[in-house]
Structure 1
Amino acid sequence: MALLITSDCIACDICEPECPNEAIQAGDPYVIDPLRCTECVGHYDQPQCQQVCPVDCIPQDPDRIEDKPTLLARYQQLTGLSGY
């Protein structure tokens, strides 16, 4: 599943540079592009935006249920790489 940023976001800008897929955009609140979010599959073991968020406002998006193979396929499409 893709992640989303809730209205609890304090716009600290810590998450945006941590995203290896450039899926996070500034806004009110910040926004995660679900077509670019892989939950860091292929890059890291844990979603980096969740790891650095000081207010814990980046849950999984219940409207975008995706399994690990789907996220890995998106990673491969975005990067042109074939795996971890």
Structure 2
Amino acid sequence: MAIIITDECINCDACISECPNNAIYEPDSEWALSDETSLSGTVTSPSTGEEIDADEKHEAISDEFYFIVTDKCTECKGFHDEPQCASVCPVDCCILDEDHEETEEQLLAKKVWLHGE
């Protein structure tokens, strides 16, 4: 599963530097899959098989609190033993996203897709 940030977020900034996938964004920030990953141009999504523009800017998912881009979240698989955002969050608002279940194999494949490693 990907991680989500709930509306209990206090915008403390503790999580953003901990994310190895650069999947966490400040409130009201545009985002792209290519932001600080190896993705660029047209890529094929590992989850849907669709071709997408990795450089396309998307609207913020939240304008009130930090947010995690599901397509970039790997729960830190391949980097750490546990999600780093959840481990540093002082208010425990980084939780598993029940709506986006993924196996460890899928999460590791996403890591390779994002970073080419």
Instruction: Identify whether the pair has TM-score above 0.5, normalized to the shorter chain.
Output: yes
Output the amino acid matched with 2:10. Answer: I
- Aligned identity (percent) is 49
TM-score (norm 2): 0.68
Q: Which residue of 1 aligns with 2:97?
A: 61
TM-score (norm 1): 0.94
- Which amino acid in structure 2 is aligned with residue 9 of structure 1? C
Tell me, in whole angstroms, the C-alpha distance in 1 between the residues paired with 2:98 and 2:14. 23
Q: How many residues were matched structurally?
A: 81
Instruction: Report which of the two has the higher share of strand.
Output: 2
The AA in structure 1 aligned to 2:17 is P
The match for 1:5 is 5
Partner of 2:26: 26
Structure 1 counterpart of 2:112? 76
- Distance (Å, rounded) in 2 between the aligned partners of 1:30 and 1:67: 25
Distance in 2 between residues matched to 1:59 and 1:3, nearest whole Å: 5
Q: What is the one-letter code of the residue matched to 2:18?
A: E
Equivalence for 2:14: 14
Runs ≥4 residues deviating over 6 A: none
Please identify which structure carries the higher helix content: 1
- Return the index of the structure with the highest Cα Rg: 2
